[in-house]
Amino acid sequence: MSLARNALLWISENRTLRQTLPRYKFIRRAVSRFMPGEELADAMQAGDKLKEKKLTVILTRLGENVADAAETAEVKNHYLGVLQQIQQRGLDAYISIKPTQLGLDLNEELCFKNLTAIVERAAALQNWVWIDMEQSGYVDRTLALYKKVRKNYPKVGLCVQAYLYRTQKDLEALLPLSPAIRLVKGAYMEPANIAYPKKSDVDANFFALAKMLLANVKKNGVTLGIATHDKILIKKIQEEAEAQGLAKNDYEFQLLYGIQTDEQFRLAAEGYRMRVLISYGSYWFPWYVRRLAERPANILFVLKNLFRS
């Protein structure tokens, strides 16, 4: 793992910096590259524009490690409203949530109740809810949460991280549930006894897991979201899916708003299902710094905004 990536991931988790750095205007300006705005309306409008190009979306309000039960209720109510608005607008939009936004740090039962309320509303509206995967310390609890919710609701998906050594075994245990899986590389700082430190190993594991999941789309009813901007992996996965006899719409690609936009349009134009994850909300700092860590060259973009101020 590069030094710059480590340093940025450290910054993303530092409480003082989380509070002070977002106040700087040049940082606020730079973040607009990755999110259309802080309000839900901004995300919805961006969704409308992407719809014109045949792209669908996932909406997520940024936030994590909510430490107050009343605040988790506010998050739950917010998402209940989002589901309603998606329906009224006729937008093909799922939602994606972090378990610690719903109280996983406080109490697993509270988190489960909040999530169930959201998934239940989504089910009534025939929509999907995706669960993000956070740092490795949350994986066991997030898997347990997913299994419990998935028992009663089919339209709920889980993110898994290819950088963790354990993910293959976790997936094997999930297969009997016909899970919906979003495969990502992993965005957090993890020690080498838990996660592959070398990018080439993460990439290789991503492909191995994607191959295994593709093989289970028909066999075990897996719903699959391939969530990477890595064009080499995307191409290899397309070829693998074709070799396995899958059609373009048997799985979908999920990419982040503002990253590899040309690739997103290309995938949609070629007939693949392409879903863009759009973030909004005021609590964007740790999420934004994780985006910088994915490509430390992005810091140049932040600095350009500093000199524009």
Cβ of residue 2: shortest distance to ligand FDA, in angstroms? 11
Using the minimum distance from each CB to ligand FDA, give the nearer residue, 229 or 273. Answer: 229
Using the minimum distance from each CB to ligand FDA, give the nearer residue, 223 or 228. Answer: 228
E strands present in 144-251: 156-161, 180-184, 223-226
**Which residue among 105, 132, 170, 230 is the active-site one?**
132
Interaction site with ligand FDA (CB under 6 A): 132-133, 159, 161, 184-188, 227-230, 254-256, 259-260, 277, 291, 294-295, 298
Using the minimum distance from each CB to ligand FDA, give the nearer residue, 50 or 187. Answer: 187
Q: What is the largest CA-CA distance in the chain?
A: 56
Cβ of residue 296: shortest distance to ligand FDA, in angstroms? 9
**Are 174 and 147 in contact, with CB atoms under 8 Å apart?**
yes
Q: Of 208, 206, 144, 147, give the one whose Cα is nearest residue 178.
A: 147
Q: Which residues pair with 279 in a beta bridge?
A: 60
CA distance 207 to 210: 5
Cβ of residue 207: shortest distance to ligand FDA, in angstroms? 11
Note if 89 is an active site residue: no
**Are 296 and 43 in contact, with CB atoms under 8 Å apart?**
no
Cβ of residue 230: shortest distance to ligand FDA, in angstroms? 4
Note if 201 is an active site residue: no
DSSP 24: S
Using the minimum distance from each CB to ligand FDA, give the nearer residue, 69 or 306. Answer: 306
> What is the sign of the dihedral through the CA atoms of 200, 146, 143 and 244?
negative
Owner of token pair 């191959």: 211
Active site residues: 132, 182
